[in-house]
Amino acid sequence: MNHDAHAEALDFEYLILGAGPAGLQLGHHLATAGRSYLILERGEGPGTSFKQYPRHRTLISSNKVYTGYDDPEINLRWDWNSLLADDGRLNFGDYTRKYFPPADKLVQYLNDYADCYNLNIRRNTRIVRVERLGEGMEGFRLLDEASNVFTCRRLVVATGIPKPVIPDIPGVELCEQYATVSVDPEDFINQRVLIVGKGNSAFETADNLVETTAMIHVCSPEPVKLAWATHYVGNLRAVNNNFLDTYQLKSQNAVLDATINKIERNAEGKLAVSLTYSHACGETETIVYDRVIFCTGFGFDDSIYAEDCRPELVIKNRFPALTSEWESTNVPGMYFAGTLTHSRDYKKTTSGFIHGFRYNVRALHRMLEKKFHGKELPSREIEPTVEGLLTATLERINRSSALWQQYGFLHDVMIVSSDGSSARYYEELPLAYVHETELSASGHYYTLALEFGHIHGDPFAIERKPVVDAADESVFLHPVIRRWNGPLLVAEYHLLENLFGEWKELDNHVQPLREFFAKHQEAPVGVQK
């Protein structure tokens, strides 16, 4: 949509800040529901942040085009970039077959998604002020830099985390930042470089400079966390960890577990960095570098929010504090979508990434429809029998992409009526939301999730126990079914992990699950057998 430059006053039921993947996903749901909404985008088009990040232009979000399955829902388990749409017209895998795809392809995809679904986006609109409407009025007033005014009953913030986190270290002003440092390796020939941080941006930067630098140190107080060991996709990914070889195989580079005390410029114009090592009996050392680059992450920018509607922040002020409905804990009517919802599952599951938050956005839309438009949460009737519960569970654990991607965070819910004559199935809800709403009023309901077990030691040398009685020791992703009486956990049952992520074997999966439901369908409410 194009708008004249003169000042306007525009009113909508929903305003969405940001036309990134989360803003577009919510816009699609709102448009489908026929709601009044507008997406406000500071850049020339959707996906503005992906035009700059990651700096070295390779995404770490998997794009597995060939899976062996024909079911689009199952394929979303390995498609980390596509947005959700019932018609399935646009799939990111049609844009590139690269497993780690170019960022520019995502920008192209997001723009095509916006055009395909004719989303209501106002581009080149930089919001400079967010404030509440007058006393006793519900909603928000937003002002852009051209003095246009936008009002809404409900505001959804989907701006991501654009503000670089700069540690409070003496001498930090002498250093460079991930957001602006040169990405041309030729600019670093024969230089000694310190990279601060141990996330993917730090190692992405280090990997880019290996061929031209004299020495690279990567430093932070804590040891490197590898995604394959933690199952958290935001930890260091294999695509960025080639640098570790150059350390362990003695190629002049190193990974330091150390706290930086101060940074000073010495008489030769170099940067002298004082370090205290984390695992060396408190040893302190000063090392001289040509350049220091901070790759220490990003956080939420709250500078445009008036004091009376500035959201409370958590996790070192990087994320907004949110309820189980992704609403600000201190600003009613202000909701969040996308990476900002990661405060609910920080460094545990995948709400910080497209393949996780696309499902959060769908759940958020369903919550908003229930809360403000009288639409009940989508559900379906299932047979209130052992076979009915078994069939519904097997279908979801073998097909659902939401449970697969948002492991341990989003849960399906099966509620059995008090007299056992009926049962309803709800999909993809945060467990906290279930427990805080009338869904948990039942004395007999089940939740279903896919979850990882706990890794102890080498993740490639796990001693597995492929027997039903040891299913609760499964380490890889596997189904966990829980029976509840209100907020009280009555029983928990694990299905044995499976190499292919398919739980269809009669002896290992189907019959044990049937026996679990049989036991609890017969059990008195709230009594564990």
Q: Would you tell me the crossing angle of helices 21-33 and 103-116 to the nearest 10 degrees?
A: 10
Residues of the chain below pLDDT 50: 1-5, 526-529
Tokens linked to 167: 């540690």
Provide the greatest CA pair distance for the chain: 83
Give me the pLDDT at residue 461, please.
Answer: 87
Q: Rounded distance, CA 463 to CA 298, Å?
A: 38
- State both tokens at 494: 């694990």
pTM above 0.85, yes or no: yes
Residue with tokens 């850049």: 43
Residue 275, beta-bridge partner list: 260, 285
Residues 462-478: tens digit of each pLDDT:
888 889 999 999 999 99
Q: What is the pLDDT of residue 447?
A: 98
Residues ≥6 apart with Cβ < 8 Å to 271: 171, 174, 175, 194, 263, 264, 265, 288, 289, 290, 291, 292
Residue 525's pLDDT is 54
Best CA proximity match to 110, nearest among 127, 130, 125, 95: 95
The pLDDT of residue 4 is 47
Please report the pLDDT score of residue 7 as a whole number: 72
* Helix or strand holding residue 368 (H, E): helix 354-373
Residue 527's pLDDT is 37
Which pLDDT score is estimated for 524?
A: 54
Q: What is the pLDDT of residue 66?
A: 96
Domains of the chain: 9-163+299-373 (3.50.50.60), 172-296 (3.50.50.60), 379-522 (no CATH)
DSSP reduced 3-state for 233: coil
- The model's pLDDT over 133-149, given as tens digits with 9 standing for 90+, comes to 987 788 999 999 999 99
